[in-house]
A = this chain, B = another copy of it.
């Protein structure tokens, strides 16, 4: 039952496009899901993809367009006239239509909107464009099913049938008063089991979770996850029902946020995908590398100040990358755990308790590793035992400091209102490199005296 994209299928479609055999093409594509059409479009040349978009019904292509990666979609839309884009948008839910329009240049936005025939649809899209794309207003769709508290159940059923025609999935039915203020909700289950002569005000559930148009996306995601909601109504400043956010948009939002966090931790500052251009990759990656290079300059300088040690204790320099790497690894581990705790809101208890725990944990790990290092350095690598002792003691200190930096830098940033994810990856590894080296040679100097 699962659709499998094959080279044969792509070749067949390309052949049919070349032959302009529209009839065969339609026959091949009619039973394919729009998400699979999107995969096919990605594999085709731009002109071929445009040909398919123009050929197929816009109720299918509009959904396929939504599934495309932004870069591919942008190029296809450039090939379409404002009127053709408007036709696609007519068949989209308002939230998807607004997302697509937002990708166009401002001039083109005007042209496209003026070509949308359904005026209410156009109005709704224009309204959605006003909101920040990462707020509830930017995530919501205008499509929903709502009933007035003063209606009867029978009355309501026929009204709902009409409304449901425009809504892909009904989820909850929202109950409003005469001024469109959100009063509560009605589940389909309740409606199925309610007496038909009852009034809505007698059967609806007055408790309903909702968010405001300005609620940030991650807060919407948190509430929907916590309460296992599949749709949440959105109200304006006056408490009037203006839209709803559905779980499929939140699933995409969660995945994108997770990818951004992951990339941030890897030192990539702009959402990029493997197939993006070299320039886009460079923009996302080079800034962090430059930062790391500047940090490297500091580590060179720090090492330079211990040049005196080279003549008598040159072997100390052989352990530098080991110490720096351990500091980096421990720092990244600690910061990853704190960041997830901050994101999930599970970081409880006082700072002092956390400090004691982190010191305990890093001392335990540090001592185990230091003993391994001291023994390995002396017996395995054959250095004089004084080196083993020196690097061992240094390692414990470096690990404790690195884990404290990794734990508390994100917490402090978070309290200052700065995104703590900034503190992961290159930032933590670079600063821990520097501190690690400084601590290592300071301890070595104290022990060996140079």
Q: Give A contacts to B, CB under 8 Å.
A: 1-2, 33, 35, 42-43, 67, 69, 157, 160-161, 164, 169-170, 188-189, 192-193, 209-210, 223, 225-228, 230, 247-248, 250-252, 254-255, 258-259, 261-263, 265-268, 272-275, 278, 281-282, 285-286, 288-290, 292-293, 295-297, 299-301, 303-304, 307, 310, 314-315, 317-326, 328-330, 332-333, 335-338, 340-341, 344, 346-349, 354, 357, 360-361, 364-365, 368-369, 372-373, 376-377, 380-381, 425-426, 429-430, 433, 437
Q: Is the CB of A321 within 8 A of B324?
A: yes
B-side contacts of A373, CB under 8 Å? 293, 296
Report 21 cross-chain contacts, Cβ distance below 8 Å, ordered by A residue.
A1-B209, A169-B230, A230-B247, A247-B247, A254-B255, A254-B258, A266-B336, A272-B337, A274-B337, A275-B341, A281-B361, A286-B368, A288-B333, A297-B381, A303-B320, A321-B321, A321-B324, A321-B433, A325-B328, A328-B328, A328-B429
Q: When the two chains form the complex, which single residue of B333, B349, B364 contacts A268, counting CB atoms closer than 8 Å?
A: B333
Report whether over half of chain A's contact residues are helix, strand or loop; otherwise say mixed. helix
Assuming the contacts A189-B170, A273-B340, asked whether A255 and B225 have C-beta atoms less than 8 A apart, the reply is yes
Q: Smallest Cβ distance from A115 to chain B, in angstroms?
A: 27
- Known contacts A262-B340, A322-B300, A360-B278: A369-B293 contact under CB 8 Å: yes
A192-B160, A266-B333, A288-B329 known; A255 vs B258 contact (CB < 8 Å): yes
Chain B residues with Cβ below 8 Å from A278 are 357, 360-361, 364
A69 to B1, CA, bound (A): 37
Please give the distance in Å from A29's CB to the nearest CB on chain B: 15
Q: Could you tell me the distance in whole angstroms from the C-beta of A315 to the nearest C-beta in chain B?
A: 7
Contacts of A290 in B (CB 8 A): 369, 372
Q: A286-B368, A314-B307, A314-B310 are in contact. Are A326 and B268 (CB under 8 A)?
A: no
Find out whether the CB atom of B263 lies under 8 angstroms from the CB atom of A336: yes
Q: Could you say which residues of chain B place their CB within 8 Å of the CB of A377?
A: 300
Distance in angstroms between the alpha carbons of A261 and B250 in the assembled complex: 20
